[in-house]
Structure 1
Amino acid sequence: MTCEDMRTEDNASTITEFVLLGFSDLPNLQGLLFGVFSIIYIIVLIGNSLIIIITRLDAALETPMYFFLANFSSLEICYVSVTLPRILVNLWTQDRSISMLGCATQMCFFLMLGATECFLLAVMAYDRYVAICNPLHYPLVMNHELCLQLAASAWIGGIPVQIGQTCQVFSLPFCGSNQINHFFCDIPPLIKLACGDTSLNEICVYLVIILFAMIPFLLILGSYVKIISTILKFPSARGRSKAFSTCSSHLIVVLLFFGSASITYLSPKSSHSAGTDKLLSLFYTIVTPMFNPMIYSLRNKDVIAALKRLLLKKIVW
């Protein structure tokens, strides 16, 4: 079945739209949640936009590390914008309905950007590996052409597979409840609503998560094993402390993102708890993008210095 076929109803399916229950079980907190998520969205937009602007305007940050960081910040803005604006609309209007096509579109972009995040995190780990373990060869290895190729591969690498997975999920018959006990269209809660055999879909989810999450995660861990072993050989205690600080920050984000996503997608359908799924999803869809600017950049002295230079220019002008 093609994506176009999803727009037409077959004999087994009577559902034309879904209802995102979201946080409807907290009726007295709708206004508070709207305020909290609005602030989070603003923080994500401002924080990540600042990183993009600084890395584009400051010549001192024209390095592969900050090129990938700018890509990562652009990704985080897109990633959050797939889910958070819809959450805000649902909280504000209390109209939680979403069309079948709208749900499929949201899921497809969410999955594609999620795959991009996995790949970019792996690319950033590889960049640090080359910089720390092979510093003399770093300018030669991480040349401009390779950086562009790695970034482009991260952005487009997961598109065909995730489009196929979305079409596969929405080819299932939905003939029972149309209430999705989640705050966005995701695979686990949708599979729970399907009234047909979903074993093939669950197998495909496992295969995709291994390809797009487990393999990059193992590559990241392998890179950091090499990085940490190299850092331990540094003669300067200050140098070791600075390098460990950077590594620990990156690893915290990696574990937070990959850990919560893997638990959500790899656990069997029968063991899924709606409350647990929503809590874990908050980590890798909203919390991580909100803290990424602080973890990756605002603790970085080069970025802070670049931000000060930018502000001074604005004041002088």
Structure 2
Amino acid sequence: MLIKEVCEKCRLTKKAIEYYESKNLIHPQILENGYRNYSDSDISALKEISVLRKCGISIADIAEILISSNKPAALAKCKYITELRMQRLNDIQKCMDSLIANYDVNREFDYLQTHDADLYTVKEKLVFAFPGNYGLYVSMHFGRFLNGTIETEKQRKAYDAIVQYLDHVDVYLPSELSEFLELLFNASEKIDALKMEEEINGKMHKMLADTDCYLERNREEIERYIEFKSSDEYQNSDAGKIQRYMLDFQKESGYQEVLIANMKILSPAYAEYLKKVEAANDIMLKKFPKAKDMYELN
């Protein structure tokens, strides 16, 4: 079935269908003429996606539901998270109503200090703790794994250790590199930066789904990328300088021992993701030994 008929059957725009394909939610057959041939399973998936999206469920959660062997249970988990968010919004509105009725900041400050673990996601808490580019960078790097709230004492201790680490670690960038990061994250460039992060995450998802096939399918592109990252042009660029700085910083600052170790406790999803990345890295280094020099790996 071609896309025009699919649009009519599923009441979706062509752009929406193309977007869901880019997110690996559907897998139409690509014909010799380049057209997509959508199967009955693609149609069923698109109808399912349409219903779930209208329920306010995120693309990431929909991806999990589509492949789940127990879809009602997967959906119940999403409903629970939605209920938590609704409760957070209700509590925030109560706070605002209290301030409107009586602008007692000390009272609301004390209330929020004792309830913020329930009111805000870990991602939101980190952005509040570190306003500006620093918090934005941390949020962009880890944020997709931190959309839940702190639920256990072990997670709370891990979060406190992360905040302590981030607040006291000695991060120094030369002025020209600081200016480069400012340009990357200023208001006019922020959307592009977020798009770039989304594209990188999309490529990572495809690679982790089937590392061997992905690496072989993209062998020429990967070899060009490794060659560029190893070139004098890249090494002398602002991006190259930042990469070298971050590699040195991670080796010397306790990055792995403190930040990553506690991030895995805070987010089981991140811990699982890291296992997949490490396995994929092993496969990549066997296929592309030069990548070891690119990241100064031993």
TM-score, structure 2 normalization = 0.30
Structure with greater contact order relative to length (CA < 8 Å, sep ≥ 6) = 1
Q: Return the TM-score normalized by structure 1.
A: 0.28
Larger CA Rg, structure 1 vs 2: 2
